[in-house]
Structure 1
Amino acid sequence: MATQFRVILLLLTIFYCNDSYGQLKHWDHIKKQTTATDPTVASLLSHNFAPVGHYSGKLNYGFDFFKYGLNDKLSVPIRLEYNSLGNKVSDISSNTGLGWNLTGASGTVTRQICDVSDFDKKISSYGEPDLFEPGAVDYYSKLGWLQLADITGVQTCEVDAAPDVFSVNAPGLSTKFYITKNLEAVELNGQKNKIELLVEKRNLNISFTIVSGSQSTAIYYPDAKNLYKLVVTTPQGVKYTFDAYDVVLSHNLASEQFYSFPEAMITLFLTGMEDLNSRKIITYEYDQSTIGEYSTTHQEYFLPPGYYNNGAVSPFPLQSNDVRNRYKKYLRIKNIHASESEISFLYNHNREDIVDDKALTGIVLKDINQNVIKNYRLDYGYFTAPNCSSAPECKKLKLNAINNVALSGNKEIVEARYEYFEDLRMPVKSSKEKDYFGYFNGNGATTGKPAINFYPSLGTNALLPFTLQNLTPTVTLTGENAAPNDAYTKQGLLKTVHFDTGGGIDIEYEANVFRFNNENVKGGGSRVKYQIQRDNVGVPTKISYYYETEIGSNISTGNVGYVPVHAYPIYNYSDFSYNSIYNNTIVSEHNLFPTDNFVGYKKVHEVVNTLSTGGKTTYQFTSSDEYPDLILNRSQQYQYLSTTIFNAALTTYSNYPFMISDEKAELRGRLLKKETRDNNNQLKTQEISQYTLVESVLNSIPVKMGYYSDSGSGGSCMPANETFYMVDQKYASRRFELTADSTKSYFNSNVVVARNAYQYRTNDELLKQKITYNSKSLPITYTYYYPDELSYSNTEAESARQSLVANYIWGVPLKYQRSYLGSTESNETLFKNWSGGRILPSVILNQIGGYEKVELLNYSDHSNVLWTRVNDVKNDVFLWSYNGNSLIGKIENADFNTVSSILGGSATIQNFENVSNPAESSIVSFIDPLRSSSALRSLITTYVYKPLVGITRGIDARGQSKFYEYDLFNRLDNIKDNNQSIMNQFAYHVVSTNPFAGVIYARLELDGGAYFGDSYNNYFNQDLYIRFYMDASCTIPYVLQSPIQLILHETVTNTGNYDIQDPVNPNTTITINAGVSSYFCGVKKVMEYNWIDYDYYFGLQYQNITRTYSLNPNGTAVQIVQ
C-alpha cells in the first residue's frame, strides 16, 4: 500500500487571540480565568494547526472508515487522522487516543478570546504594579465586547479591547468571523458565506464563586449575552446549523488562597447540513453527559517584583497555577442520520486517564432498515508514565488497533494495528520536563523555568529561551534546560502501522529546525525523517525527506510563526530603552502559541529508494519570510514612540497584546514549484504555480492603550497629566489567488508544456475566466457566469434564477463559454422552481463540440429525475426505490406518461420509490409489466440492491440476469451469470484476523457505593454487572456480535451468634442481546449486617450475611464461543 504525502492548506486561527482551550496571554494574571474546550475538540484543533504534507513535515496517514451523504454536496468521509508533529506534555488524549482525531463526524464553532471574552460581565478589579504595558489593572472579569459599556468602564480600561475570533469547521466548510457590537458577523477571509447569529440573553447561570480564606460568594449573571446558535450558508447552497453546545465549569487552583469558578459555554456543535437545491438533510445527534475534573494545563508564573537593572536580577516569587475543567454538559457525537443511512458511535471503554469519560469503541453504519452494513471496533491501551500513582495523571489513552467486525460468523479483521515509540518513558501530565515549545525533553526539570538570554538588538524577540551561536547575550537569566531532545520528543509518536494485507509503514522522526537570526535553531516538535512502506510480501520502499536548501547543505529552510515567549522587557521610563527587564515569565505547555505556530519549510526534498530504482522530488513553498506580518497604523503619536523598538513592538509580529494578525497561515505552504527527477538526476517533470496576493482591511477598531510613568497612579487607564496612546486595530485579510500554473514533461529531447491562467471576480473568490494554452501556445478561454450575473427572458428560468440568488445559491456557474480562434461555444443550465422549495435543473444546453439539448421534465418527491428528453426526440424514464436512494429501472425510448399509465399512475411510482427495503421479487414484478407491454418498444434495465453495499442483481434488456454476492464484511465475493454459474470470484489477501475472535470472556464486576438504611438494618449494596472481554486477563472490552445466555449463581454465608435461613437464587438464566459489552444485573445485596434485639436481658444479637455471585463455581472469567 503506497502512502503519499500531500499538502492541504487549512484556514488556521488568528495570531494573538487566546484559544479557549488553555492558552494565556502574557498580561493575564494568576487569577485570570481560562476555560477549555473538551479534549477531543482541542486535539482536533491542534491537529488542524498545521497542514498535512511536505511543508510541515507532517505524516499523511489516516484510516478511512466510509463515506456518508446524499449527493455531491452532502458527501462526507468518516476518517481517523493522525497528528505526527508531536505530543506536548500537557496534551490530553481525544476519545480516539493520543494524537488521533476523528474527522467528518461533526463540526464545531470555537472561540479565540482576544483580550477578554466578548460575553464577560464585569465582576471586580485588582491593581497590578505600575508597569509599562497595556492594562495596569486586571480583572476577574472585564466587560466583554458585546456587553453595554458605561463611561466609567471606558475611563478605567475595564472594557474589552478587541472582539473574539470565531472559527467554524465542518465537512466542506472552514471560515472565521468576529461579531460587531451590532451583533453582525464579519467574515475574515473573503469567502462570502452568509452567517446568521443568535446572540441573546439566556439563563445560562454563569456564576463566579470567589473564595478568599473561608469566605465564599456566588455571583450569577443570567442576563449575559452569549452565542447560542449559528447558521452558515455557503454560496454553493449548503446550509450548516450549529445549535448544540458544551458547558464547562472552569477554575484555577493557585498557591494563593484566592480563586474563582466561572461557568461558561465553550463549543457550538453542528446539528444539521442541508442542500438548498434538493432540500436533502443530514442531521447530527449528540450524547450528553458529564466528565470528571481534568487538568488542561499546568502553568508556572514568575510574577513581579523583579527586574534586571544595572546587571543585577532581583528575586521574584514563583506562583503555581493549575487550570482545571469540569464539564456540566459534554457532547459526544452519537448518531448521524441521512435518508439512506445512520451512523452510530459507541462509547464502551471507561477511560483511566480522564475521570468519568469514555473512549470511542465502535462505529456502526446501518441502512434505513437498521441492517448493519459496516461495523468497526477500536481497541485501546495506555501510555503510562513510570513511578506514578494517580491513573489520570500517569496515563494517556492509546489507540492499538482498528478491527472490521463481520456481520456474523465470529470473525474480525484487524485492518490496522499500531505501534508507538515507547522505548524511553512518558511524562506525567504536570511534568516540568519540557522544551520551550512544550514538548517532552526528559531534562529532569522540577520548576519548569527555562534559562532566558537577553539580546537587546533583536527588538521584540530580545528575550529568548535558547542560545544563539552568532550573538552574545547581554545577560542570561538562570533556569533549567529547555532545549529539545529528539529521542524524548518522539515518545508516544506513531512508529509502525500494520495492515491486514500484510504490508505496513515504519516511520522515523527527527526534531524540527528553523532559521532564526541567520542560524539553525532546533525546536517545534517532530518532522518525518523517513518512512519505509512495505507491500503485502514485505518488499520495502524507503522515502526520505530533507528540509535543507540542498541535500547535505545543513542550512534549514524552516520558518516559524513566532518564537515562544517566556519573558518580556520593561522599558526605562525616561528614554524607553532596554535598560530594564521585567521578567514576567510564563511557562505554559501551550505558551501563547498562536494557532499557526508550527515550523514550515520553504524547500523539501523527497528521495525514493526501492530495491531496483529511485528518484527525487523537490517541493518549494511560500513562507512567512516572503510575506511578513502587517504593521498596524497608529492614530496618535506618543512622545517617545518614534523609537525603533516601539515601531517593532506595534507590529503584529511582536508579543504585545491586541495586535490582530492577518491570515498568515493562508500565506504559508502554498506550492510554488515541484520537480521530479529519476535516479540519474534527469529532470522528468516540472510544475510551477503563481499567485496574486489579495489584501483587504475589513474594519478599523480604535483601541486605547495606556502607558504610565513611575509617578503615575497605576490604577487608572488614563492618569492625570499623562498622555496615552491610540491604536487603530485593523482586522486585515490577506489571501492568495492562483493566477497561473504550468507543467513541463520531459521525454528525451522533447518537452511538452501545459499552461493555464486564472482570473477571479472582484469581490469574491469565484473563478471568472480560465485560459488554457495548447501545445501550439494557442489560448482556449473559458468564461464562467453565475446566477447573480445573468438574466433570462424566459419567465420560468428567470424566476428560478432569482430564487437561486435569494436562497444564497449563487456560487455555482450556470453557464460557461469556450472561445478558440474566434469561435465561441457555450454550455448552460436553466433551473426551475419545483414543489417543496426545490430549485432543480430543467434544461441543459450544450453547444461545445456539437449541439445537445437535455430536458429534465419531471422529478420525484426525493428530487430524483424521472423523465428526460434529448434533442426533442429521445425520451428516457427512470424509476427509483429504496426510499429514493437507488435507481431500480431505466426505460429507454419511452415517455413518462406512457410508463405511468402502465404502472398504475404517478402516485404508484412515487409510493414504490418510498419503499425502504423492497424485496427482489417486488422490484421484478413492479417493472415486468413494462417488459410485456405492447405499448412500449423500449430497452428496459432492472437493478436490485443491497442498500449501501451494492447491486445484487441486474437484468438487461434481453431479460438476462447477473448476480452479485457479498461476504460477511460486505465485500464483493462472486459475480454469477443468468444460470447462477460463477463468472468472477474475488479473494482478499488478509493475514491478520483478530487473535481474540471466536472465544470471549465474561466476568462479574461490582460498581457503586454503600447504601445505609435505618439504624437497625445496615446494607452494603452494589451495582452488579456482567462484562465481556477479548482476553483472559479481561483488559480489552468486547461487544457481543450475537445474543447469548448465561447462568448467574448466588450463594449466602451467615455468620454471627444468631443464625437464620436466608433465601438465595442459586441459578438465574440471563439472556443478553448483541451489540453490548456489559449487562446490568441490578443492585445486589453484597453484605448485610443486622442488629437484632430479641431479648432485653441478653442484649443485642447480630447477624452477618455475605452473598457471593458467580457465573461458574470457581468465580473466574467464563470462556464463551461467539
Structure 2
Amino acid sequence: MHKLFVNALERLRESQFDHLLRLTIAMLFFACPVFGQFDYKNQAHSPSPNSASIAKLGSTDVNLYTGVPAIVSELHSLAGRNYAIPINLFYNASGIKVQDVASNVGLGWSISTNCIVTRVVNGLPDEDPAAGYFGSDMGEKITGVLTAAEMEAISNNEKDSEPDVFYFNLNGETGKFVFDKNKNPLVLGNAGVRILNSPFKKELQVDGWIIMNASGTKFYLGSSSATIESTSSTSYFQDASKTITYDSTWYLEKIETPNNVETINFTYTSGDPISVTHYSKKMKMRNKIVNTFRREVKILWFIKIQSAGSSPTEISIVDQEFWDSNIVQTVASPKYLTAITTSDQSAYFFYKPISRPDLTNGKVMDKIEIKDYTSQLMKTFRFHMSDKIATETDPSETTASQDKHRLMLDGVDLETVAGNTKQLFRYKYNSTPLPQRNSSKTDAWGYYNNNQYGYFPDETVVDEAKSMSVDKMIAGILEEIVFASGGYKRFAYECNSYYDDYTGAPTPGGGIRVKRILEVPGLGAPKQSTYTYWPGERLRANPVYQTMIDHRQSMVSYKFGAIIPQGTAGQAIPSIPLPPHSLQNRSVGPIGTPLVPSMPYGGMVNSVAQALGNIISDLQPMTLTRYSPFVINSSTPYNNLSDSEGAYVGYGTVAVENSEGKAVYTFTDMEQFPDVSNQIRVNASFQPTAVLYSDITPFSPFTSYAAARGRVKSINYYDSSNQLVKTVNNNYTFSDITKSVPGLRCALGIVSIDGYYAYDKYYNLGRYDHISFSLLSQETTETTHTRASGTNTRVEKKSISDYYPTYPFLLANQSMENSDGSVMSTQYKYVGNKDQVSYQHQSETDAAEQLHTDGRYTVLLEQTAKRDNVAINTQKTGYKKWQVNNKTLTLPEFTYQGNGSTSKIVGQNFGYDESGNLLQTSKNNGVKTTVKWGNNQLYPTLEAVNASASEIYEEDFENALGTLGEAESGEKFHAGAYAVNFTLPNSRKYKITYWYRQDNKWLFSGNIPYTGATTLNQGDAIDNVLISPVDAVCSKKSYHPSYGLTFSASGNAVNYFTYDDLFRLRLVKDKHKDIIKQYVYNDVSTYAGEVFFNQKHVQEFRKSECTNPNYVGLVGTYTVPAGRYHSYISQEDADAKAQAEANAKGQRYVDLVGECGPHAPLITSTSEGSTYYSIAKSFDDNKRILCNIKAVCRDVDGNLYDHFFSVQFEHYETEKSGYLNLDDTSVEELYVISTTVN
C-alpha cells in the first residue's frame, strides 16, 4: 500500500514477516471504519468542456506562487460605448492531464468571450426539492440535528449536505460563490460583485441571473433554454448506476453599463448532444491470512502477537472483483456563441462544418469576423486546428474513438478586407504524444508518466507507478508561440516539488511549474527569465487510493484517530466552530502521514481483545485464519488533491532572474494561512469518539484560506552585480470574516467480528465552511539602497492603507511616510460611504443616493490630500439626475476644489445626450465649451469654445443625406449645391466655413460672414459645413467607422490620418496633404532563429590608485551576468561580447568601488640576502602558532600580485611576534592584508 496514505504502522516494520503480521493485526484492531458507500457514490459533477475551461481562467494569471505563467494571445478589443469586450485566447500552462478534453478552441485553450455562470455539483443539485441543500431542509439540518437515517442517506448520496460551488466569468471578472440554506448567495473573495437575481430565488421576479459589479455594470445570464446548458451525469458503481440531471451552465445574454448608455448583446446557437466520460476503475479484494502458532502467544497493549515458534504466514488475495466506476456526462443541447453586438462593433463566431474527432457532435472554432457599426467587415481571425491521435493504446482496454484524439490549436491568422493574410500566431507543443484518455499511465495528479503497472499496481511499486515523469508530464504542453514579426516566446517547464512529511525532504510532484521563459522579438534584444523556487510547501492532500468496507469476519480500520473523551449522548452534530478571525494561534489540520495513537483498554477494543484471548489463551499449537477487511482500490484518488483555488503546491520564495539582475519574492503561504480540517467520529449513540485526520473518508474539504495565499510579502531587487538595490515589504490584514456557508460530509462504517462481537455503526463526519473574506494590503515599506565609494545609503518610504469595513474593496485612506519623517496622505470618499460627503445642493445629495441605489459603490465623490494630517487640497464631484428625453442619467454636474476648509466650484456641466455624452461644460473662467457627437453618437466631432449648442450649426454629411465617396474627411459628402437654412439665435456676429470640390480637389472656403440662409454652390460638391460665432474657437474631427480618427482641425492646425489594412496608423498629413510623419512596421515574418546568450563572465582587476601611499589597490571583480548579450551566430560570439564589456568597463568599475590595503603598516628588514617581514601577531607563551597570511607583493619590476603564505611562528619571549622569511629576493615589498590563526 502507498506510503503516503495507508498506515503509519509501516514505519514499525522490522522484517517482511513481522511487517505483514503487524499489519494484519493492526487492520483488525486499530483501524477506522471504512466507508465504501460514500467513497464512490458521493461525487462532484463538473460542467461541459467549454465551461470547464472557463472555470480555470482564475489560475491562468501570472502566479509565481504556483509557478504557472500567464499565456495570453490578444486578438481584438471589441469597442462599445465606454466599454470594451476583449477577445483573447488564454492557455492554462499548469499542464495537460491525460483525461483533459479540449474546448472548441483547442486543448488547454479557452476564449475570453465565453462568459458564463457554471457550477460543480457536490452530491446532488442544491435546488433538488426532495433532497437538495436549499431545495429541501438539508441545509438547515446539517447545522442542527440529523437522524441516523439522514446520516446514512447522506453517506449514500441520497441527501445533499454540501453546497454546490458556482463559478463566473463576466468579461474578465472571475470568481465563485455558494448559496446558503435560504437560497442567499455568498460571493467568495470578490466583495465587489452582487448577485441581484438567481434562477433559484428569483429576487427580481425574473428568470436567470442578474449580477452587478461594483461599478454598477449589470450582467444578464440564462433567462431561457436558449442560453442554458443542462447536464445529465451518470455515475457507475459495482452493480448499479445513478443519473442526476441539472442545469449546469448559464450563458451571458447581455451587459448593461451604468445609466443604460450601452447594451451589449450575446447570441448563441445550440448543438447536438455531447458526452464526456471521466474514467476510473475499482477493484475490491481482501487478504486471507493463515498462521500456525506453536509457542507462546501474548496479548499486549497494541494487541501485538509475539510468536517464537510460528510457521511462516501465508497471505493470499481472495474474493477479487473489478468494475468501471466512470462518470459519464452528457450535455443535451450545448451552446455556442455566435455573435456579440455593441453600439460600435460586432463580432461573429463561425464553426467548422465537421464534427470534432475528439468529441462527437462537438463544434470547432473556424473564424471570428469583426464588423463596424455600419456592418462593414473590418477583419477576420482564422483558426487552424489539427487532430493528434494517441499512438500508444492499451489493447486490453476498450477505448472510444473520441478518446484517442486531441484537438490542437496550431495557429491564428489575421485576414484583412484587402485580401491579405498575416500569420498572427503559431503554436508549437511538446512532441511527446499523449495516450488515450482512459490510460492507466498517469501519476497521482493525472499527468502522463508512462508507468507499466496498470490500474492497480502492487503495493511494492505504488510509489514508482504514481510518481511524476519529468519527460512525460509535459506531453502536449505549449512550448513556443511564434508571432507575426517572426519573433517567438518559448517556455521550459519542470516538476513541482513539495515537502514530503514522510521522508522529511523535498520531493518532485504536484504538477508543473515554469522554469524559463525566452522572449525573442522580431526586432530588438531577446530576453530570458529564469525562475528558481525554494522547496515548496506540503501537498494540499496526499492521494488516497484505498478504502475499506465492513466485513463479518474482520474489524475495519480504526487508524488516523486521536481518541477524545466520550461526549454526551444525543443526535446533534458536535459543533465545529469557524477558526478565529485572527489567524494567530489557531488549530490547523496537518497534511501528512499521522502517527497512530495509543489505545486504552475499554469499549470495543477491550471486547475484541478479550474475544481473541479466549480463543488462544490455552497456549496450545493452533492455526489462526483471519481475513483482512475488504478494501476497494481506485485507479484515481478518492480525495481532491488541490486546494480551493486549484493549486497542488505553493512556493513561499521564488527568484526571477534576467540579464538586468534578479528579484526574490516571498509570498503568504500555508505556514501563514493554513487550511483547517474538521473531521470527527461519532458512535451509534452520537457520542464523539475520535478526531480524524484529513486523508480518511469522507475526505471533507478544508475550511480554506487558499485565497489568502500567494500574496507578495516582500521583494528584494538585485542589480546585475548582485548588489541589493531595492526592497519592498508588505503587510496584510483581513477584512472581517462575517459570513460563511457550511458543508457536511458523512460516511458510515460497520464494525463486526463474526460470532464474537455484535455489529456496531460508526459515522465519520466532516464539517467545513465556505468563508467570504478579503486579504487587504495594509502596509508597504519600500527601501532604496545605493552604494558609492564603498558606502551604503538607505532611503525608506512607508505607505499605510485603510479600507472601509462595509466595502473592503474601497481604499479609505493611504498615507506615505518619507525618510525625513513627513507624512503625505490621501483620503477617499465614495458612493459606498456617501453619507460622509457634504454638498451645497439637495440635488447632489439625491444623486448620490441614486448612485448608491444603482450599486455604483466605487464612484469617487471626494478626495483630500494632506501633509502631516493637515488638508492642503480637496477635490469633490457633485452629481445630478439628468432627465434626457425618457431616460434619467445620474452624471456629474459640479466640480469643487478647495484647501480642506473652504471650496469653490471650478467646473460645471450643463447637459448630456441619451448616450451619456457631455454636451456642454465650463471651467472656472465661466467660458462654455460645447461638444457635438457623431458616428452613431460614439465620437466627439466638434468642440466649440465660447459657444452654446444653439449657436452652432455643423453638417459633415456622415448620415443618410451624404453621398459615399472621396470626401474631404470621413466617408461622405454632399453632391451639388447645398442650401443652408440656419436661423441666427441672437445678435452675435457669425461666420461660415466649408469645403468644396473643384477639379477633383477639395478647397477650403475660408471664413465667410454669415447673416442668414444661403446656398453653397461653389464646385460640384460640399463637405464639412460649420457656422459659429466669430469669437468662438472650434475644433473639428472626423472618424471612419472602422479605422477611427481620419481628420483633425483646430485653428490653423489641420491633420489627415491614413491607416493600413491592419488598422495601424501609416501617414499623418498637414492641411496641404503633404506627409509630415510616416510609420513603418516590421511585417517580415521570417523566423528569428535560435538565440545564444552569454555565460556568466567574472574577471579580476586591481584598483589602480590609492590616496594613502602605504596602501595598495586590492583585486576586485567585474561580473557580466549570464544572458546580458545574445547572438544569433554562436555561443562563442555571445561570450565574446561579454568579454568585450569586461575589458571595456571592468577596470573603471573596480577603480570606483574597489578597496585599498593593508590595514596595518608595512614593516621590513633584510639580512643575509633574505627578506624578513615582521608580522605583528600576539600569541600565548610556549606555543607554536600556524598563521595564514594574505598579502600583496610587489616585485622588482613594480608589478603587484596576490600571494598567500602559511607560516608557523615560534614563541619569542620578548618580541611576542613572528617573522616571515622570504627567500624569494624578487619580492621588493610586501603588504599584509590579513592574518588568520589556525
Farther-moved stretch of structure 1 (74-83 vs 762-771): 74-83
Q: Tell me if 1:48 matches 2:58.
A: yes
Q: 1:826 aligns with which of 866, 874, 883?
A: 874
CA contact (8 A) 1:340 1:885 kept: yes
Residues 301, 919 of structure 1: alpha-carbon distance in 2 compared, 3 angstrom cutoff: same
Please give the alpha-carbon distance, in whole angstroms, between the structure 1 residues aligned to 2:936 and 2:538. Answer: 54
CA contact (8 A) 2:684 2:763 kept: yes
- Give the AA of the match of 2:193: N
Q: Once the 2 structures are TM-superposed, how far is the Cα of residue 784 of structure 1 from its aligned partner?
A: 1.6
Q: 1:385 aligns with which of 374, 384, 390?
A: 390
Matched with 2:1038 is 944
Q: Tell me if 1:813 matches 2:863.
A: no
CA contact (8 A) 1:943 1:955 kept: yes
Q: Tell me if 1:759 matches 2:802.
A: yes
Matched with 1:1001 is none
Aligned to 1:85, the other structure's residue is in SS state coil
Matched with 1:983 is 1076
Q: Tell me if 1:597 matches 2:647.
A: yes
Matched with 1:782 is 826
Please give the alpha-carbon distance, in whole angstroms, between the structure 1 residues aligned to 2:734 and 2:629. Answer: 39
Matched with 2:893 is 842
Matched with 2:471 is 487
Please give the alpha-carbon distance, in whole angstroms, between the structure 1 residues aligned to 2:961 and 2:701. Answer: 58
CA contact (8 A) 2:682 2:762 kept: no
Farther-moved stretch of structure 1 (765-774 vs 565-574): 565-574
Q: Once the 2 structures are TM-superposed, how far is the Cα of residue 777 of structure 1 from its aligned partner?
A: 3.1
Q: 1:957 aligns with which of 1051, 1054, 1067?
A: 1051
- Give the AA of the match of 2:1057: Y
Matched with 1:1025 is none
Question: Alpha carbon RMSD of aligned pairs, Å?
Answer: 4.0
- Give the AA of the match of 2:47: T
Please give the alpha-carbon distance, in whole angstroms, between the structure 2 residues aligned to 1:263 and 1:81. Answer: 30
Aligned to 2:896, the other structure's residue is in SS state strand
Q: Once the 2 structures are TM-superposed, how far is the Cα of residue 949 of structure 1 from its aligned partner?
A: 2.5
Residues 444, 227 of structure 1: alpha-carbon distance in 2 compared, 3 angstrom cutoff: farther
Q: Tell me if 1:88 matches 2:131.
A: no
Superposed, 1:738-757 pairs within 5 Å as: 738-748=777-787, 749-757=792-800
Superposed, 1:516-595 pairs within 5 Å as: 516-517=500-501, 518-536=504-522, 540-548=526-534, 556-568=535-547, 571-572=557-558, 583-588=631-636, 592-594=640-642, 595=644
Aligned to 2:259, the other structure's residue is in SS state coil
Please give the alpha-carbon distance, in whole angstroms, between the structure 1 residues aligned to 2:514 and 2:316. Answer: 41
Residues 306, 238 of structure 1: alpha-carbon distance in 2 compared, 3 angstrom cutoff: farther
Residues 92, 567 of structure 1: alpha-carbon distance in 2 compared, 3 angstrom cutoff: same
CA contact (8 A) 2:493 2:514 kept: yes
Please give the alpha-carbon distance, in whole angstroms, between the structure 2 residues aligned to 1:537 and 1:156. Answer: 67
Matched with 1:1014 is none
Larger Rg: 2
- Give the AA of the match of 1:682: Q
- Give the AA of the match of 2:1075: I
Q: Once the 2 structures are TM-superposed, how far is the Cα of residue 420 of structure 1 from its aligned partner?
A: 1.1
Matched with 1:106 is 114
CA contact (8 A) 1:887 1:943 kept: yes
Q: 2:219 aligns with which of 240, 246, 249?
A: 240
- Give the AA of the match of 1:147: S
Residues 444, 228 of structure 1: alpha-carbon distance in 2 compared, 3 angstrom cutoff: farther
Aligned to 1:329, the other structure's residue is in SS state coil
Please give the alpha-carbon distance, in whole angstroms, between the structure 1 residues aligned to 2:676 and 2:70. Answer: 32
Aligned to 2:189, the other structure's residue is in SS state coil
Matched with 1:682 is 723
Matched with 1:259 is 241
- Give the AA of the match of 1:921: F
Q: Once the 2 structures are TM-superposed, how far is the Cα of residue 757 of structure 1 from its aligned partner?
A: 0.6
- Post-superposition Cα deviations, 1:724-771, rounded to whole Å, max 9, x if no partner, equal 787765433343110011323334344443321101112331211111
Superposed, 1:664-813 pairs within 5 Å as: 664-694=705-735, 696-699=737-740, 701=742, 705=746, 710=751, 729-748=768-787, 749-765=792-808, 766-787=810-831, 788-790=833-835, 792=839, 794-813=841-860
Q: 1:884 aligns with which of 937, 945, 949?
A: 937
CA contact (8 A) 2:403 2:436 kept: yes
Q: Once the 2 structures are TM-superposed, how far is the Cα of residue 689 of structure 1 from its aligned partner?
A: 1.5
CA contact (8 A) 2:732 2:778 kept: yes
Q: Once the 2 structures are TM-superposed, how far is the Cα of residue 640 of structure 1 from its aligned partner?
A: 10
Q: Once the 2 structures are TM-superposed, how far is the Cα of residue 537 of structure 1 from its aligned partner?
A: 5.2
- Post-superposition Cα deviations, 1:191-230, rounded to whole Å, max 9, x if no partner, equal 153323344599xxxxxxxxxxxxxxxxxxxxxxx99612
CA contact (8 A) 2:970 2:1047 kept: no
Q: 2:124 aligns with which of 116, 119, 138?
A: 116
CA contact (8 A) 2:679 2:692 kept: no
Please give the alpha-carbon distance, in whole angstroms, between the structure 2 residues aligned to 1:287 and 1:881. Answer: 34
Q: Once the 2 structures are TM-superposed, how far is the Cα of residue 825 of structure 1 from its aligned partner?
A: 2.4
Matched with 2:1166 is none
Q: Tell me if 1:606 matches 2:656.
A: yes
Residues 255, 143 of structure 1: alpha-carbon distance in 2 compared, 3 angstrom cutoff: closer
Matched with 1:628 is 674
Q: 1:357 aligns with which of 359, 362, 369?
A: 362
CA contact (8 A) 1:362 1:375 kept: yes
- Post-superposition Cα deviations, 1:410-438, rounded to whole Å, max 9, x if no partner, equal x211122111111x332111111000111
Aligned to 1:61, the other structure's residue is in SS state strand
CA contact (8 A) 2:177 2:188 kept: yes
- Post-superposition Cα deviations, 1:865-909, rounded to whole Å, max 9, x if no partner, equal 01001115121111111111111111122233433xx459xxx99
Q: Once the 2 structures are TM-superposed, how far is the Cα of residue 776 of structure 1 from its aligned partner?
A: 2.6
CA contact (8 A) 1:435 1:481 kept: yes
- Give the AA of the match of 1:964: F
Aligned to 2:64, the other structure's residue is in SS state coil
- Post-superposition Cα deviations, 1:1041-1072, rounded to whole Å, max 9, x if no partner, equal xxxxxxxxxxxxxxxxxxxxxxxxxxxxxxxx
Q: Once the 2 structures are TM-superposed, how far is the Cα of residue 299 of structure 1 from its aligned partner?
A: 0.6
Please give the alpha-carbon distance, in whole angstroms, between the structure 2 residues aligned to 1:327 and 1:117. Answer: 16
Please give the alpha-carbon distance, in whole angstroms, between the structure 2 residues aligned to 1:285 and 1:598. Answer: 37
Residues 182, 47 of structure 1: alpha-carbon distance in 2 compared, 3 angstrom cutoff: closer
Please give the alpha-carbon distance, in whole angstroms, between the structure 2 residues aligned to 1:434 and 1:660. Answer: 24
Please give the alpha-carbon distance, in whole angstroms, between the structure 1 residues aligned to 2:720 and 2:648. Answer: 32
Residues 819, 395 of structure 1: alpha-carbon distance in 2 compared, 3 angstrom cutoff: same
Q: Once the 2 structures are TM-superposed, how far is the Cα of residue 443 of structure 1 from its aligned partner?
A: 1.4
Q: Once the 2 structures are TM-superposed, how far is the Cα of residue 491 of structure 1 from its aligned partner?
A: 1.2
Aligned to 1:798, the other structure's residue is in SS state helix
CA contact (8 A) 2:61 2:70 kept: no
Q: 1:276 aligns with which of 258, 270, 280?
A: 258
Residues 623, 641 of structure 1: alpha-carbon distance in 2 compared, 3 angstrom cutoff: farther
Farther-moved stretch of structure 1 (25-34 vs 814-823): 25-34
CA contact (8 A) 2:920 2:931 kept: yes
Structure 2 unaligned spans of 5+: 1-34, 290-302, 305-312, 394-398, 549-555, 564-595, 600-627, 983-990, 994-1006, 1009-1026, 1088-1238
Using the size of structure 2 for normalisation, the TM-score is: 0.64
- Give the AA of the match of 2:1062: F
Q: Once the 2 structures are TM-superposed, how far is the Cα of residue 271 of structure 1 from its aligned partner?
A: 1.6
Structure 1 unaligned spans of 5+: 1-24, 123-141, 203-225, 453-475, 549-555, 714-718, 995-1122
Aligned to 2:280, the other structure's residue is in SS state strand
Overall identity of the aligned pairs, in %: 20
Matched with 2:189 is 189
Please give the alpha-carbon distance, in whole angstroms, between the structure 1 residues aligned to 2:214 and 2:39. Answer: 43
CA contact (8 A) 1:349 1:360 kept: no
Q: Tell me if 1:856 matches 2:909.
A: yes
Matched with 1:426 is 434
CA contact (8 A) 2:945 2:1033 kept: yes
Please give the alpha-carbon distance, in whole angstroms, between the structure 2 residues aligned to 1:349 and 1:626. Answer: 53
Aligned to 1:796, the other structure's residue is in SS state helix
Please give the alpha-carbon distance, in whole angstroms, between the structure 2 residues aligned to 1:432 and 1:724. Answer: 33
Would you say how many aligned residue pairs link Structure 1 and Structure 2?
871
